Amino acid sequence: MSNTATISHDTGGKTPGAHPIVGHLVPTWLLVFVGTSLLMLTVITVAVRYIDIGEFNIVVALGVALVKATLVCLFFMHLRWDRSFNTLVFVVSVVLVLLMMAFLIMDTNQYRDTQFDGNAPNAESTLQANAPGAPVARFKPYSP
Amino acid sequence: MTTLQSQPNHAGDAHGADGAHDGAHGSAEHAKYPFLQHHFDTPHHQFDSAKLGMWLFLATEVLFFGGLFVAYAVLRNRFPEVFSYSSHYLDTIMGGINTCVLILSSLTMALAVRFAQTNRRIGLIICLILTFMGAIGFMVIKYFEYSHKIHDNLVWGTTFYVPPHDAAGELEAKELSVAPTTSITLNPVNPAVFAVPTLAQTPAVDASAIKQASRAPVGLATPTQMAKAEGLPTGEHDPSFAHPATHLVDKKMPANSHVFFAIYYAMTGLHGVHVLAGMVVIAWLLKRAIRGDFSSDYFTPVDVGGLYWHIVDLIWIFLFPLFYLIH
């Protein structure tokens, strides 16, 4: 955390091993540890794909993805030591996407019953699709 | 804590707001750091501004991809059977290898930032080269995945149903796509009702003569819907039922399966474009690293370029389970 205490201009900033005057220096072992954890989590999540645990398959897959994303953000992207305002900017963007997703799913579920598969919303009430000669193409089984 | 510590020079500054750029302290900072732009007071000021700007850009990237993630959620919510069936056409092992390649290149990028921070120029150059090779490896694997699917007609839109060499089928599909508009006229009885079809009119194209396989993507209703309307078997609950208007090779594929491949190509394609852009960024960083531009005083381009590369990895971390790991 004492990243500003060791300003070393007298070395000209070119000595190998010099400390940066800005930002945070993440230890190599921590970077390698995080990278190894990410690889192991990938192996785990691929293995779980071949086990049928019903609804929990997607929960596990997305949970592991969330853990991996958090590791990348905190350590590879330095958010752990960065200004918290940068974290705020990033988290807000993710929350906005989730908000849009939630409302759009609610919306499409709401109008689902009024839709013909593949037609514009309320197509049947506007175009009377069940009437003879209506523009919904008529169907005949395919016989090669 | 970091916020307070990273601005020590501001605390010690004696000059007022009007003398921010002309004060003796500011000149000394600029003389000491040749990379310091004239509109920044200190290296911290410049570094923090660059980081905030990059994070704002990354937020727009999240919103950019967010639209496609929302489209994915809506489609998967609408057609769950399509997603669970079609995802088995994706090669989990190839996708897993690609995930590992991206994670490793993310690690070498994080190490590159560290090497730049500690004045280790050779280490920086090696790590940037490794990151670049990871990007190439990712794109090569992606190329094999894409070409395999395109060969199997697992694509978006009309070609999903009509093979490209089936010229007659394509022609029929085009004909049908314009046919409905010719049968729609203004209702003379009640002109206020706009564009109501004349119900008794003969269709411009005898739709029953058109091969089923070429109709699904351009017709108004899906084959299942049409079959239901006609009281014909739809095969909804019969897995052995060969649907008359589904994929040309795999007849058991559920109706509307092309939406899975459409969103697959849209999302992985946009991600691939970002990988290509990342390769340009890494190549530029490599050129500057070889020239010796970076030091423990100045490594901001490596840092923010690394942030971009990490978000490309981050997006893939979510794309991988959403497409390849559906049980």
Please tell me which of the candidates A93, A96, A137 has its beta carbon nearest to residue B215. Answer: A137
Q: Do residues A50 and A89 both lie within one domain? A: no
Averaged pLDDT of chain B: 76
DSSP annotation string for B6-25: T-HHHHH--S-STTTTTSHH
The residue of chain B with its CA nearest to that of A99 is: B70
Cβ-based contacts of A93 with chain B (< 8 Å): 58-60, 62-63, 66
pLDDT at B159 over 50: yes
Provide the pLDDT confidence category of residue A110 given band limits of 50, 70 and 90. Answer: confident
Q: Please tell me the distance in Å from A59's CA to the nearest CA on chain B.
A: 10
Q: Do residues A35 and A69 both lie within one domain? A: yes
Structural domain boundaries enclosing A119:
84-132
Q: Do residues A103 and A33 both lie within one domain? A: no
| pTM of this prediction exceeds 0.80 | no
Q: Which residue has the higher pLDDT, B257 or B140?
A: B140
Q: Please check whether residue A143 lies inside any domain of the structure.
A: no
Contact of B281 with B309, CB cutoff 8 Å: yes
Domain boundary residue among A82, A100, A123? A82
Please tell me which of the candidates A86, A97, A137 has its beta carbon nearest to residue B66. Answer: A97
The pLDDT value given to residue A100: 96
How far CA B91 is from CA of B85, B255, B313, B323, in Å, comes to 13, 22, 19, 10
| Total number of domains in chain A | 2
> Does B244 sit within 8 Å of A83, measured CB to CB?
no
- pLDDT over 90 percentage in chain B: 46
Q: Do residues A128 and A58 both lie within one domain? A: no
Cβ-based contacts of B43 with chain A (< 8 Å): 21-22
Q: Please check whether residue A64 lies inside any domain of the structure.
A: yes
> Does A57 sit within 8 Å of B325, measured CB to CB?
yes
Interface size, chain A vs chain B, as Cβ–Cβ contacts under 8 Å: 275
> Does A90 sit within 8 Å of B110, measured CB to CB?
no
> Does A69 sit within 8 Å of B296, measured CB to CB?
no
Q: Please check whether residue A118 lies inside any domain of the structure.
A: yes
From CA B155, how far away is CA B140, in angstroms rounded? 19
The pLDDT value given to residue B152: 80
Contact of A83 with B6, CB cutoff 8 Å: yes
Q: Please tell me the distance in Å from A113's CA to the nearest CA on chain B.
A: 12
- Segment A18-41 shows an average pLDDT of 92
Q: Please tell me the distance in Å from A20's CA to the nearest CA on chain B.
A: 4
CA dihedral B164, B165, B171, B176 (to 10 degrees): -40
Q: Please check whether residue A140 lies inside any domain of the structure.
A: no
Question: In chain B, what are the domains?
Answer: 51-155+259-324 (1.20.120.80), 164-233 (no CATH)
Q: Do residues A69 and A125 both lie within one domain? A: no
> Does A14 sit within 8 Å of B226, measured CB to CB?
no
> Does B117 sit within 8 Å of A23, measured CB to CB?
yes
- Select, from the ranges A78-82, B18-22, B155-159, the one with the highest average predicted confidence (pLDDT): A78-82
Cβ-based contacts of B117 with chain A (< 8 Å): 19-20, 23, 25
